[in-house]
């Protein structure tokens, strides 16, 4: 087998054989296929697509490039959630302890943010002392102690995807449904969860800008999970506006803690509870404690505190705050009809909440807090958002990102996607 033959097959729009796929992933992981060859193949896949059989073979080969975690020694069922990423999407933070409080074990491997979307690990690292890197034994220890663990994937988990993802990032080949689906699902299958709920975001702040593309991605991932023996279901959810009222690492942790304390913004609570029901149902654990009850009676908060402490964090420590703030005022009076998720995410990123390159640090206190959401009446000059940054020189470019992100109408309600758009099953 040689790499050029595999590239030419896909370049000419033909189907790759199971042998070609297994060989190319193995040879790429082993350094036999060069980066420029894999980038040509990734571009051919982006342009010509892949069949269901090819995507399944590609995903399995990436799983086989590393180890697969095993939670069979736990005294209960595992269930997890993966979001394709959005602006203000802190749902994992209240959701993992909530599901654990209702009887599931949640072994969640999360990532860091890149570009305008935040990463769960960056958010949790704003908690003093909290550690993202755990060994397999430490993960098991946290799961036994708290019922949920959120940490970074180790180097041994789908290493082919780790390399390929970094390559796609710099070759314009991220936005391919077969490559996104196989990337996400190879990690989730290797993570060893028994059940999985996918939160596929739709809208300006998401990878998938239209419901049609999101449904195609969701269907592909549900098929991959099901074929691999993971009970998988997907929700398509709105990302045309930010989720909740806080965007930025420590700001989002505070909002997540509000939800665990029984408060928090209505959309964050609604989506957290809906996803908790889905995760429990996918693992056949629906008969236990009701998620709404677990938020009200403090049991989800108890799990959160145990989980944070088990990973070295101090759940009572004050969170970092940015040194400087600035206001963004309503451009006119009326009803706030739109608040573009991408614009707000870009502003938070420019304030320092996100990173431009993988190795950059993030500012924990930076971000945006929203004082009005679509549907609210607003007056011209009223502060709509507070911007937080460590350095006031960041405000100018962040404010520029918000130009045109807010639309104010004269009485007509907002034209938004429903929070939960659809549910996709096998
Ligand atoms: N998240 C992933 O893990 N992989 C992708 O390709 C896109 C999002």
Taking Cα atoms as reference points, which of 391, 384, 404 lies closest to residue 353?
391
Fold for 79-154+183-316, please state it: Pyrimidine Nucleoside Phosphorylase; Chain A, domain 2 (3.40.1030)
Tell how far the Cα of 167 is from the centroid of ligand 1, in angstroms: 12
What pLDDT sits at residue 413?
A: 72
The CATH homologous superfamily to which domain 324-409 belongs is Pyrimidine nucleoside phosphorylase-like, C-terminal domain (3.90.1170.30)
What pLDDT sits at residue 370?
A: 98
Question: Measured from the CB, is residue 180 less than 6 Å from ligand 1?
Answer: yes
Fold for 3-49, please state it: 1.20.970
Residue 317 contacts residue 128 (beta carbons within 8 Å) = yes
What pLDDT sits at residue 61?
A: 98
What pLDDT sits at residue 14?
A: 98
90 part of the active site: no
Atom number in ligand 1 closest to CA 184: 3
What pLDDT sits at residue 112?
A: 85
Residue 359 contacts residue 240 (beta carbons within 8 Å) = no
Q: What are phi and psi of 223, to 5 degrees?
A: -65, -45
How many Å apart are CA 38 and CA 75, to the nearest integer? 42
Exactly one of 183, 186, 204, 363 is catalytic; which is it?
A: 183
What does pTM read for this prediction? Answer: 0.96
Atom number in ligand 1 closest to CA 174: 6
3 state SS for 83-150: ECCCCCCCCHHHHHHHHHHCCCEEEEEECCCECCECCHHHHHCCCCCCCCCCCHHHHHHHHHHHCEEE
What pLDDT sits at residue 170?
A: 86
Give me 315's structure tokens: 């759940």
Atom number in ligand 1 closest to CA 183: 4
Q: What is the location of CATH 3.90.1170.30 in the chain?
A: 324-409
What pLDDT sits at residue 24?
A: 98
- 3-state secondary structure at position 232: strand
Q: What is the location of CATH 3.40.1030.10 in the chain?
A: 79-154+183-316
Which residue's alpha carbon is at the smallest distance from atom 1 of ligand 1? 184
How many Å apart are CA 223 and CA 53, to the nearest integer? 11
Determine how β-strand 246-247 pairs with β-strand 367-370: antiparallel
How many Å apart are CA 40 and CA 35, to the nearest integer? 9
What pLDDT sits at residue 360?
A: 85
Query: Is residue 266 exposed (0-12), middle (13-18) or buried (19+ Cβ within 10 Å)?
Result: exposed
Averaged pLDDT in 10-residue chunks for the chain of 426 residues: 97 98 97 97 98 97 96 97 96 98 97 81 97 96 98 94 90 93 97 98 95 98 97 98 98 98 98 98 96 98 98 98 98 95 96 86 96 96 98 98 94 87 97
Residue 400 contacts residue 225 (beta carbons within 8 Å) = no
Site to probe by mutation for ligand 1, drawn from 121, 174, 224 as the one with most ligand atoms within 8 Å of Cβ, is 174
What pLDDT sits at residue 358?
A: 75
Question: Measured from the CB, is residue 150 less than 6 Å from ligand 1?
Answer: no
Exactly one of 10, 82, 90, 388 is catalytic; which is it?
A: 82
12 part of the active site: no
Taking Cα atoms as reference points, which of 92, 95, 78, 148 lies closest to residue 124?
92
How many Å apart are CA 261 and CA 253, to the nearest integer? 12
Give me 147's structure tokens: 């019922």
Q: What is the location of CATH 1.20.970.10 in the chain?
A: 3-49
């Amino acid at each position: 087998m040689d790499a050029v033959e595999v590239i030419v097959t896909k370049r000419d729009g033909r189907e790759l054989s199971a042998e070609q796929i297994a060989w190319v992933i193995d040879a790429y992981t082993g350094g036999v296929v060069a980066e420029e060859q894999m980038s040509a193949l990734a571009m051919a896949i982006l342009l010509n697509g892949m069949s269901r059989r090819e995507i399944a073979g590609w995903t399995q080969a990436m799983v086989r490039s590393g180890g697969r975690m095993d939670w069979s020694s736990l005294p209960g069922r595992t269930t997890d959630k993966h979001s394709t990423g959005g602006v203000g999407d802190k749902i994992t933070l209240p959701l993992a302890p909530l599901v654990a409080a209702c009887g599931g074990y949640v072994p969640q491997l999360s990532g860091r943010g890149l570009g305008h979307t935040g990463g769960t690990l960056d958010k949790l690292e704003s908690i003093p002392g909290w550690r993202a890197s755990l060994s397999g034994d430490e993960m098991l220890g946290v799961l036994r102690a708290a019922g949920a663990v959120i940490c970074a994937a180790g180097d041994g988990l789908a290493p082919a995807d780790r390399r390929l993802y970094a390559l796609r990032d710099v070759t314009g080949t991220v936005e391919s449904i077969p490559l996104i689906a196989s990337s996400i699902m190879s990690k989730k299958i290797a993570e060893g969860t028994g059940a999985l709920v996918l939160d596929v975001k739709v809208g300006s702040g998401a990878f998938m800008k239209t419901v049609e593309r999101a449904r195609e991605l969701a269907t592909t991932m549900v098929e991959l999970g099901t074929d691999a023996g993971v009970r998988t279901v997907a929700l398509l959810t709105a990302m045309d506006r930010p989720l909740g009222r806080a965007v930025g690492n420590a700001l989002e942790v505070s909002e997540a803690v509000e939800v665990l304390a029984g408060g928090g913004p209505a959309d964050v609570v609604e989506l957290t509870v809906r996803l908790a029901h889905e995760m429990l149902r996918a693992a056949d654990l629906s008969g236990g404690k009701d998620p709404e009850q677990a938020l009200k009676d403090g049991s989800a908060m108890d799990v959160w505190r145990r989980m944070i402490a088990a990973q070295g964090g101090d759940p009572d420590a004050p969170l970092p705050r940015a040194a400087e703030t600035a206001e963004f005022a309503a451009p006119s009076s009326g009803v706030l009809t739109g608040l573009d998720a991408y614009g707000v995410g870009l502003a938070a990123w420019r304030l320092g909440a996100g990173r431009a390159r993988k190795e950059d640090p993030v500012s924990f206190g930076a971000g945006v807090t929203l004082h009005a959401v679509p549907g609210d009446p607003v007056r011209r000059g009223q502060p709509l958002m507070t911007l937080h940054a460590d350095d006031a020189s960041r405000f100018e470019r962040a404010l520029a990102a918000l130009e045109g992100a807010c639309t104010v109408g004269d009485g007509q309600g907002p034209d938004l996607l429903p929070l939960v758009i659809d549910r996709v099953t096998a």
